Amino acid sequence: MSRSLRNGMPERALAWHRAGRGAALATVVETWGSAPCPVGSQLAVAGDGAFEGSVSAGCVEGAVVAEALAAIADGTPRLLAFGVSDETAFAVGLACGGRIRVLVEPVGGAIPEAELAALVAARAERRAVAVLVNLGSGARRLSDGEGGEPLDAAVRARLRADRPGVEAGEWFVAVHNPPLRLVVVGAGHIAQPLVAMARLAGYDPVLVDPRTAFGSAARFPGETILHDWPDAALAALGLDARTAVVTLTHDPKLDDPAIRAALASEAFYLGCLGSTRTHARRVARLAEAGISPEAIGRIHAPVGLDIGASSPAEIALAILAQITQRLRRG
């Protein structure tokens, strides 16, 4: 997962700093054993002691917050090491202990405000970017892996794999990929549990359905709902390599434009509801429209892993499981 992006800690730290409260960011840079939080997890700390996020699921947060307050006061970063005991690990639901290293950096000190603002802007624009920090010298920079620098290949590989970590023995690469996004075409009965499950799994779901009776706030409270026709909606959204698309109407007037848009994009997953016979007719229509067999082969249909699902919630589970399989295993 895109750990630091998903929790919004850079945005929180920048807002606290600009409000005059002072701020620091704490980042897990290395782990060993069954550490409570993965590499890249972040904690934002304000100068008045408020904090959000997590670097250890509660195990060492108190110590990290204390060090962050000291860093805000003196402007100096800290590289902390913690061992999580078996007893503490058990208390937070782990089978055994582990060790973590946490980098604590004050905003306006180790982290220049302009750099943090550029990072926040890139995240808002869904641009993949990495923060490189030298754990020895404290030197840092933003990188998209295209700057002609020695670590470019490593940065690109970590952005593709969505995996922060240490390179060349001393450079921590913090990955800030765009949030995973799920576009669901068709606000029917399967869409309701699918959107809820996707949000729990860390996706930003978007519903597309021009039928306002289906795509209503009453049926999908708090969700983003677009009432445009799918081809227009998907063009406006922009489908990138962090986007999955699922069509659920099995109505060619709605599904086919969305399918063609997804196949012309870098979307990492496209799944379509319908029986084997329905999909065969779909394939024939797409082929007649000039879509290549290779492109058509990207479609997962009938959608979802074959787990014997029957209810809408079970079908939604099968769909999300297949999306996860595609994302993590390719």
- What mean pLDDT comes out for the span 182-209? 96
Round to whole Å and give the CA distance between 35 and 58: 12
Residue pointed to by tokens 């024939």: 284
For the record, the structure tokens of 71 come out as 């860093």
At 226 the three-state DSSP class reads strand
Using alpha carbons, list the distances in angstroms from residue 164 to 246, 250, 255. 29, 39, 37
For residue 91, pLDDT beyond 70: no
Residue pointed to by tokens 């007893």: 87
Question: What does the pLDDT look like over 69-86, one tens digit per residue?
Answer: 999 999 999 999 887 666
- What mean pLDDT comes out for the span 236-255? 94
- How deeply is 113 buried, as exposed, middle or buried, from its count of CB atoms within 10 A (0-12, 13-18, 19+)? middle
Range of weakest confidence among 58-67, 95-104, 165-174, 202-211 = 95-104
Where are the alpha helices (H) located in 238-311, listed in sequence order? 252-263, 276-288, 293-296
Using alpha carbons, list the distances in angstroms from residue 112 to 116, 135, 327. 6, 16, 34
Question: What does the pLDDT look like over 174-192, one tens digit per residue?
Answer: 999 988 999 999 999 999 9
**pTM assigned to the model:** 0.74
Asked whether 218 and 238 are in contact (CB, 8 A), the reply is: no
Q: Diameter of the chain by CA atoms?
A: 68
CATH numbers and ranges of domains, the chain: 3-176 (no CATH), 181-329 (3.40.50.720)
Name residues whose C-beta falls within 8 Å of residue 13's C-beta, 6 or more positions apart in sequence. Answer: 23, 24, 25, 44, 45, 107, 111, 116
Round to whole Å and give the CA distance between 10 and 13: 5
Under DSSP, the state recorded for 129 is E
